[in-house]
Structures are given as structure tokens and as C-alpha cells.
């Protein structure tokens, strides 16, 4: 099956004990039978078809039907390209069929262009560049194969951001993802890899001090009280239910080796082994986005230093920046956003055009595909790749200030035509 634990060729680096599934709460016949000894005996066996049964059939017969699909992958993957890529594999065993499965199973929304592919390891972006390069170019506004990404995590380079009107800005948040080099990405990683990532991450995070000092909560070991508290704090992530994530294999072995770490002040949060190896989030109430970004940069830099001290580094290259599972998050992986009250502007016929010109995007406060409630929107940067972290947060700071000025005008029944921004 695509992205299954079985055809990850790097899992042999881990012992049977490391790869044995946690079946302690399972109630099925397999769990009654599969002991560790039996698993150790069977894990290297395979049928005569192995993992390459598709190679025995012509590409024309294996090429997916993409005629009704609306995603970036489907626009790029012709039969000729599929023929060219189908016999390739990365060192860990990721194939083009693994990469495209999420886009094949999820045709997409008629009006929303989804990505339609996901990387199984860092090498995918190189081995299958004929697929990824045009997808990235299409998704990231023309970003080409020879373009160089910019990284800037020096919060001192941000202008302003500490004075967003708290009467309109309810909360501020900055998040990104990070992948640890040497391990497969979540769609393809084995149990042993996932557990090793959790162990490394928990050890590194335990070394944070001062305002960043905190505690780790493993999903499978949470008490009811801890779970409820994390739900109340809006920190908890649960097993993915999105077909996009399920089809790519990210929910395998859930909740094994997944967890949440947060500092004592509940303003700095790390998700482990969700859509990416790490999701790092800085947030707080009010409109001081500068303080949120400063904590984000400090914490992220300290985490990277701690990983390096253990002999590991984050996946990064000069062209794509930080490497993450979904091509949409390449580069910075950064989403800086605010929950902002815009009851008047939110109803204005040009609201969408204004956001587009400011390179911002909106969603409901409940997340992707949710509607705004009470005129409160989640407004954030639309770009990830080709701009530095500081540049993206600056776009949000400057854009939010303008949105608030427009909202104040509309409250008084005044025109906002003279405030219409030029395209950034």
C-alpha cells in the first residue's frame, strides 16, 4: 500500500523492538496473535511480488485517471512524465505512486486548487524534480528551479508589530514546521524512525530554560484531565480526519510517538510527529505580534542548536529553504496570523481583492474551510517560499494596520477607496 510502513527501506536500521507496533489497547484478532517474537520472525519476509508488482504492468495501465481532478499534481503529471518517473525510487523506497496518492484519492474542490502530492523523504524533491518543480512553480507564484530562497530569523529586522490595536486584534500567532535530516518524512517514516524523532525532540525540548521551560505530553499517555486542559487551551491535535492527510499515510500507527510540548506560560508550543516532524508555534492574546515573533525566533534557534549538539540538523537547502512534507510549506513554512475583528470590512465587496493585493489570506478562526463568526477572521501571510521569515511577518504587520484603518473608516460610514493598496 502507498506510504506503508512495510516498504520503507530504512526501517532495517531499527531493531524489531523499535519497529514493533504498540498493540496494548487493541482489540482485534491480529493483536492477539502478533507477539514481538512473531513480528521479529516475519518482518523481513515478503511475497514473490515484493514491492514492485506495478513494474510488471505497462505504465498506460497504471497511470491514474486524473480527468476530473483539480490539483497542481494533476495539471503536471502527464502519461509521458509518469512513464519517465514510475521506475525511480529514493534511497528509502519512495516512488512516484507514493507521492501522488493523496492527489489521486482527493480530486480537489472545483474552486480550490490543492497541491495533490506529498514528499516521503528529503530526496523526493530531487529524485522527482520533474514533477515537483512545476508544482512548486505553480503553487508559489512562479518560483523557478534555479531561484534561491532567503532565510532571516533575526527578529530585530522587523519594523513595528508591537502596537496592533488590541480592540481589533484578539490574538497573534506564528508557526512553522521543521524536518530532521536523516529520517523519512511522516508519510513514509517507519515506527522506529517516528519513535526516534520523538525521543530526540523530547530530550532537546527538556533542555530549554527560562520562559521556554516546559513539559511534554505524549498523546497515548494523557490522562483525561490533561487532555481536557489541552482542549480548553486549544493546544490539542487529534488523529487527522482530513482525506488529504489520511491518503498520504500520515495517520499510521496513531497515536504512537505523537505528542505536544508547551512552555509553562503556554505561549510556546511544539507538536511532534503530526503532519511534519515538528510544528513550532508561538502565540499569545492581543496584538503584540513582535513579541510573538521574537519568542518564535529565539525558541526555534535554541531548538536547532540543541539538535545540532546531538549530531542532527534540520532539512534545508539554498533553493527550497526548509524542507517539509507538503510542497505548499516549503521555504519558511511560516504562517504568521492574527484573529482580527473586521465586521464591516469583512462584508465589503473588495475585501478579497484587498487581501490579495496585500499578499494575505483569510479563513475562519476554526481553521481551514471554516467561516468567520461574528466578523472575526484569521488573517495571515499567503506566501511561504521566496520571502524570508521577517519579510512575511512584516507583510502581516503592515497589512493588518491597513485593515484596521479601513475598518475604522467603515464604522463611521466613510469611503475607503483612497486606502486601496497597490499590489505587493
pLDDT tens digits in sequence order for the chain, 424 residues long: 444 555 677 766 778 787 778 878 788 888 777 887 877 777 776 665 554 434 458 888 999 999 999 999 999 999 999 999 999 999 999 999 999 999 999 988 767 789 999 999 999 999 999 999 999 999 999 999 999 999 999 999 999 999 999 999 999 999 999 999 999 999 999 999 999 999 999 999 999 999 999 999 999 998 888 878 887 777 877 767 778 788 888 889 999 999 999 999 999 999 999 999 999 999 999 999 999 999 999 999 999 999 999 999 999 999 999 999 999 999 999 999 999 999 999 999 999 999 999 999 998 766 555 566 788 999 999 999 999 999 999 999 999 999 999 999 999 999 999 999 999 8
CB 115 within 8 Å of CB 327: yes
pLDDT for the residue 150 = 94
Residue with cell 528509502: 92
CA distance 181 to 316: 9
Q: What is the model's pTM?
A: 0.89
CA distance 148 to 269: 30
Within a 10 A sphere around the Cβ of 291, how many other Cβ atoms? 17
pLDDT for the residue 54 = 41
CA distance 91 to 366: 39
pLDDT for the residue 374 = 80
Select from 378, 218, 194, 389 the least CA-distant residue to 226: 218
Residue with cell 465589503: 348
Cell of 166: 488590541
CB 205 within 8 Å of CB 270: yes
Within a 10 A sphere around the Cβ of 43, how many other Cβ atoms? 16
Cell of 42: 516475519
Cell of 66: 486524473
Task: For residue 190, give the 3-state DSSP assignment.
Answer: coil
pLDDT for the residue 371 = 61
pLDDT for the residue 4 = 53
Select from 310, 306, 309, 312 the least CA-distant residue to 207: 306
CA distance 192 to 212: 28
pLDDT for the residue 1 = 42
- Which uninterrupted H or E stretch holds 127? helix 124-127
Task: For residue 205, give the 3-state DSSP assignment.
Answer: helix
CA distance 247 to 244: 6
DSSP state of 2: T
Cell of 299: 525558541
Sign of CA dihedral 205, 206, 209, 211: positive
CB 181 within 8 Å of CB 354: no
* Residue 424, C-beta contacts closer than 8 angstroms, at least 6 positions apart: 357, 358, 359, 395
CA distance 122 to 112: 27
Partners of residue 331 on adjacent β-strands: 321, 322
Residue 181: alpha-carbon gap to chain centroid: 16
DSSP state of 420: P
CB 365 within 8 Å of CB 401: no
Amino acid at each position: 500500500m502507498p506510504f506503508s510502513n512495510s516498504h520503507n527501506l530504512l526501517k532495517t536500521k531499527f531493531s524489531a523492538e523499535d519497529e514493533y507496533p504498540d498493540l496494548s489497547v487493541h482489540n482485534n484478532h491480529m493483536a492477539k496473535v502478533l507477539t514481538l517474537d512473531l513480528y521479529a520472525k516475519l518482518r523481513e519476509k515478503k511475497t514473490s511480488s515484493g514491492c514492485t508488482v506495478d513494474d510488471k504492468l505497462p505504465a498506460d495501465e497504471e497511470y491514474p485517471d486524473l480527468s476530473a481532478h483539480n490539483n497542481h499534481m494533476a495539471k503536471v503529471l502527464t502519461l509521458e512524465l509518469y512513464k519517465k518517473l514510475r521506475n525511480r525510487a529514493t534511497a528509502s523506497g519512495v516512488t512516484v505512486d507514493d507521492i501522488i496518492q493523496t492527489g489521486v484519492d482527493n480530486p480537489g474542490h472545483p474552486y480550490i486548487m490543492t497541491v495533490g502530492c506529498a514528499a516521503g523523504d528529503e530526496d523526493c524533491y530531487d529524485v522527482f524534480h520533474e514533477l515537483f518543480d512545476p508544482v512548486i512553480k505553480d503553487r508559489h507564484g512562479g518560483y523557478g528551479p534555479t531561484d534561491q530562497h532567503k532565510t532571516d530569523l533575526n527578529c530585530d529586522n522587523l519594523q513595528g508589530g508591537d502596537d496592533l490595536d488590541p480592540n481589533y486584534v484578539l490574538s497573534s500567532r506564528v508557526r512553522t514546521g521543521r524536518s530532521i535530516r536523516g529520517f523519512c518524512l511522516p508519510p513514509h517514516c517507519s515506527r522506529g524512525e517516528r519513535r526516534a524523532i520523538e525521543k530526540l525532540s523530547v530530550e532537546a525540548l527538556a533542555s530549554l530554560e527560562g520562559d521556554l521551560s516546559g513539559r511534554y505530553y505524549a498523546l497515548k499517555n494523557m490522562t483525561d484531565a490533561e487532555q481536557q486542559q489541552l482542549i480548553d487551551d486549544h493546544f490539542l491535535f487529534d488523529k487527522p480526519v482530513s482525506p488529504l492527510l489520511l491518503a498520504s499515510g500520515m495517520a499510521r500507527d496513531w497515536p504512537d510517538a505523537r505528542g505536544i510540548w508547551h512552555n509553562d506560560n503556554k505561549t510556546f508550543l511544539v507538536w511532534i510527529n503530526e503532519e511534519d516532524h515538528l510544528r513550532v508555534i508561538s502565540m499569545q492574546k492581543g496584538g503584540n505580534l513582535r513579541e510573538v515573533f521574537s519568542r518564535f525566533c529565539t525558541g526555534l534557534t535554541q531548538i536547532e542548536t540543541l539538535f545540532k549538539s546531538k549530531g542532527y540538523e534540520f532539512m534545508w537547502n539554498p533553493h527550497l529553504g526548509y524542507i517539509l512534507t507538503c510542497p505548499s510549506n516549503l521555504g519558511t513554512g511560516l504562517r504568521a496570523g492574527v484573529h482580527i475583528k473586521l465586521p464591516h470590512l469583512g462584508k465589503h465587496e473588495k475585501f478579497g481583492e484587498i487581501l490579495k493585493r496585500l499578499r494575505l489570506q483569510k479563513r475562519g478562526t476554526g481553521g481551514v474551510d471554516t467561516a468567520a463568526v461574528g466578523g472575526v477572521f484569521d488573517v495571515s501571510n499567503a506566501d511561504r517560499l521566496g520571502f524570508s521569515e521577517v519579510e512575511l511577518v512584516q507583510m502581516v504587520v503592515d497589512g493588518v494596520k491597513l485593515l484596521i484603518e479601513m475598518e475604522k473608516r467603515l464604522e463611521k460610514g466613510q469611503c475607503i477607496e483612497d486606502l486601496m493598496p497597490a499590489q505587493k
